[in-house]
Chains A and B, each alone.
Chain A
Amino acid sequence: MNRERSFKIAIYCFLFIIILNFILPRMMRGNPIAYLTGMDEASLSVAQYEYYEKALHLDKNIFIQFLYYLKSLVDGTLGYSFKKQSYVAPLVLSRLRVTLLLVLPSAILAAILGLVLGLRGAYNKNKYLERTLTPIMVVLNAIPLFLLSLLLIMTLSFSYKLFPYSGLGTGFLDRVYHLVLPVLAITLALLPSRYLLVRNMGCERAKSKSVLYASQRGLRATTIRYSYILPEIISAYITNVGLSIGSGIAGSVIVEKIFSINGMGSLLNEAIFTLDYPLLQGILFITTLAMLIAVGLTNIFSFLIDPRERRRNA
């Protein structure tokens, strides 16, 4: 996908989520108060009902409501969770750090591993490695993430007692030690699609005449991989990696549940359990925002490393 285009689409996507978040509680059957507070409508007293109606500006018309909603996004509160008695933004942001601790290392690790292995798969003088790698990735892709995490726990923590299987630990080293398994699980979940993407893009480039000429000149396979194929695919690949933050966060929701880690994912699980709609929507908003930022950053990054762009601006 084209770089500028992907950022534009990411912005539209962000707007789409903002509008969806506004419309959802108001278009559902029943009173929007039930969805905006997460309280049971029948259990509210008249005074409470009027209080909520005023607090949520539901007595105003829909455009004014939308403006109030936009204001809540801009001033950084993201609405109020009546179940948790707190604004949504601080709740989510306090947990976001832990989730990013899981997602960023795994996204980066999966991106690097996918690139190295994918290039090996795309151009190789002996085909044995490629013949074993691709089926492994296909099998890996068929394993659901929760099964992957459970398998890792079963082998590496219960049978061999190598790694802890819950919590985050205290202190830097202990934390890293606790993060190994969850990060590994998300990495393995993201890896197959990265690998196959690089492999497919690389295979196409490997058919080009420049690569044929280079191999006829007797250049080493590593040189061909990293100086001939890599520069052509890296820009598209980096854009794609930025997009994977969204699925990384989704993976983190599952992994945090299994490894009992107190991140945004377990906050989401709590919110599902208590039907805390404002909190759920806040998490969706933050996830999309994180994706938008990731796409933006990767765009800048791939702009910086693209020699064509540098020459055009010089």
Chain B
Amino acid sequence: MLKRILFIIGSLLILIFILFSLFPAAFAPYELKEMDEPWLKCSKTHLLGTNKLGYDILTEIIYGTRETLTIGVTASILALALGLIFGGISCENNLFGRLSTALINIMAMVPRLITLIVLSTFFYSSQSVMILLIAIFSFAPIAKVIGARVRMLNHESFIESLNIQGFSKMHILLFHIIPNLKDVIATRFLLGINSSIMLEASLSFLGFGDIYHPTWGTMVNLAYKNGAFLRRSFNYLLSPGLAIMLLSLSFYLILLSLEDNFDVIKEKI
């Protein structure tokens, strides 16, 4: 019962965010660049106040949903693909398998945020580069889980019997192993979106955001740069962060309703 409630709340929240990202104009109370008095507090006309240029903050958040979700979803899909490939290879008992295991172990231990910061200063930080970098630095835990599961499946009797019957490796992989990875893939996909959004928010907060695709993290960075902290304009500083928190919570709610244990939740920085 409780699980069903969690699931409903989580999916409703996500549905709202998806609708925001698909039809921002329908939900935003103002146009994107519509100006009013700057630094307004929360009020009836501006639910979350206005920023330095007088733009409505709620409108900016709604328009930022698409950019935030785009990064989260694409980075997660890429990381999942990398995780499947490397996790699969790491089960092979040859040189490639060992190399891939070593790579996975190293990538899982590298201090993520600092390495990402260094790499993003070297590469021009556009949205696509950021997605790629985030995916590269978050595939390792996925690959580990997938590798462990595939190794377990390889010892199951039905896979062994298929092997004896002479089915090709490709056939076994596509029709028997991958369908058995469904639940891992689903939870890892949701978690990946979550952690990518968190990582992106931290990077954007430090100033690596793509200003042509402003996400919520970029908004906080801009608020900080424009002196919202000194002006005590907490509505501007906090609301994008709260949006990130709500989105991430909704993913957790769905995950918790699917999973019994909480070991899906890992470190965020």
Residues of A within 8 A of B (CB): 9-10, 12-13, 16-17, 20, 24-25, 28, 35, 134, 138-139, 141-147, 150-151, 154, 158, 189-190, 192-193, 196-197, 199-200, 203, 243-244, 246-247, 249-251, 253-254, 257, 268-269, 271-273, 275, 277, 280-281, 283-284, 287-288, 291
Contact = CB atoms under 8 A, between A and B. Distances in A.
12 contacts: A9-B109, A144-B241, A145-B202, A147-B220, A150-B238, A190-B267, A247-B111, A253-B113, A272-B206, A277-B122, A283-B118, A287-B111
A200 B266 CA distance: 12
A192 B118 CA distance: 27
Q: Is the interface of A mostly helix, strand, loop or mixed?
A: helix
B263 interface: yes
B113 A272 contact: no
A150 B117 contact: no
Contact of B111 (A9, A145, A250): A250
A200 B261 contact: yes
Contacts of B106: 9, 12-13, 16
A148 to B, nearest CB: 9
B44 interface: no
Given A138-B256, A145-B268, A146-B220, 9 more contacts: A144-B241, A146-B241, A189-B269, A203-B261, A247-B269, A250-B113, A250-B114, A253-B117, A271-B121
Interface in B217-244: 217, 220, 232, 234, 237-238, 241-242, 244
Contact of A272 (B109, B117, B241, B263): B117
B262 A138 contact: yes
Instruction: Give the one of A16, A28, A35 with max B CB within 10 A.
Output: A16
Contact of A147 (B122, B245, B269): B245
Contact of B252 (A138, A280, A288): A138
Contacts of A147: 220, 238, 241-242, 244-245
Interface residues of B, number: 45
Given A134-B262, A142-B248, A144-B198, A246 B111 contact: yes
B117 A280 contact: yes
A150 B267 contact: no
Contacts of B3: none
A247 B237 CA distance: 24
A244 B121 contact: no
Contact of A12 (B105, B123, B198, B205): B105
A275 B266 contact: no
Q: List 8 tightest A-B contacts by C-beta distance, closest first.
A: A147-B241, A246-B111, A250-B113, A142-B248, A193-B267, A200-B263, A247-B269, A142-B249
A261 B99 CA distance: 41
B201 interface: yes
B242 to A, nearest CB: 7
Contacts of B263: 196-197, 200
A103 to B, nearest CB: 11
Given A13-B109, A134-B262, A246-B111, A144 B121 contact: no
Interface of B: 102, 105-106, 109-115, 117-119, 121-123, 198, 201-202, 205-208, 217, 220, 232, 234, 237-238, 241-242, 244-245, 248-249, 252, 256, 261-263, 265-269
A199 B121 CA distance: 38
B71 to A, nearest CB: 14
Contacts, number: 149
A10 B241 contact: no
Contacts of B205: 144, 146, 254, 257
Instruction: Give the one of B112, B242, B265, B266 with max A CB within 10 A.
Output: B265
B105 A284 contact: no
A280 B110 contact: no
A281 B118 CA distance: 7
Nearest to A158: B232
A291 B111 contact: yes
A154 B207 CA distance: 22
Nearest to A147: B241
A239 B4 CA distance: 37
A35 B122 contact: yes
Nearest to B250: A142
Contacts of B267: 190, 193, 244, 247
A145 B106 CA distance: 25
Contacts of B220: 146-147
A35 B202 CA distance: 24
A249 to B, nearest CB: 7
A157 to B, nearest CB: 11
A253 B217 CA distance: 15
Nearest to B238: A150
Given A145-B268, A146-B202, A280-B117, A272 B111 contact: no
Nearest to A151: B238
A249 B115 CA distance: 12
A158 to B, nearest CB: 7
A86 B229 CA distance: 33
Contacts of B252: 138, 141-142
